[in-house]
Amino acid sequence: TFFSTSLNFDVSVFEMFLPRATGRTIYIPHNVLTLTDRPAWDRSLVSIVPSAITAVLYDSTTHLNPSLLVLAGEAFPTTLLDTVRRTLPQTDVANIYGPTEATVYPTGWFSQEDPEPQGNAVAIRRALEGKSAYVLDATLNPVPDGVQGELYLAGRLARGYHGQPGLTAARFVADPYHAGQR
């Protein structure tokens, strides 16, 4: 696994512990773009932001062959998905999203399971196991498909902000579908 995230971010938990729990090794680079310094990268997982994988893929001396490419932290253009598929045809791709309060990744799109993306960007698509995602209006009512709203996440969230009950109450709102949960 290519460990590309600063320890300051929750994504580092995913990159650090998943490989160890599955008996894999971890490669910790000095700089994420050092993938371009390696003649080949034939590993199980590369987790990286879209702008960095773009730079790596356009470097003709880099030869990646991961079984899974996890992209997160930025918008994922469908043009980049096309490039990834053309360059890495055997690689499964995931577009993952989640704020720190959601403890790493609550939502995602997976190339091997989800419908083809529509439009200019790969959507985050669905909530992962044990989590819920709702698109709600200002009064916490669901919006119809295609209507803008705000994303609300539930399940396996942080309990709040330490020593900041006001901020916790404002940001960790009651789950409109599960009484007593946030």
- Among residues 95, 113, 117, the alpha carbon closest in space to that of 105 is found at 95
Segment of 29-33, 37-41, 176-180 carrying the highest mean pLDDT: 176-180
pTM, 2 dp = 0.78
Predicted local confidence at residue 94, as pLDDT = 94
pLDDT band at 32 (very low <50, low <70, confident <90, very high): low
Predicted local confidence at residue 25, as pLDDT = 77
Q: Which two tokens stand for residue 90?
A: 């055997």
Predicted local confidence at residue 176, as pLDDT = 74
pLDDT band at 158 (very low <50, low <70, confident <90, very high): confident
DSSP3 helix / strand / coil % (the chain, rounded to 5): 25, 20, 55
Predicted local confidence at residue 144, as pLDDT = 93
Other CB atoms within a 10 A radius of the CB of residue 148 amount to 7
Q: Residue 161, exposed/middle/buried by CB under 10 A (0-12, 13-18, 19+)?
A: middle
Predicted local confidence at residue 33, as pLDDT = 64
- Among residues 15, 84, 86, the alpha carbon closest in space to that of 45 is found at 15
How confident is the model over 67-104, as pLDDT tens digits?
889 998 899 999 999 999 999 999 999 999 887 777 67
Which structural domains are found in the chain, ordered by start? 1-127 (3.40.50.980), 129-182 (2.30.38.10)
How confident is the model over 135-145, as pLDDT tens digits?
999 998 999 98
Q: What is the mean pLDDT of the chain?
A: 82
Predicted local confidence at residue 57, as pLDDT = 86
What burial letters (b/e) apply to 100-121, b meaning 16+ CB within 10 Å?
A: ebbbbbbbbbbbeebeebeeeb
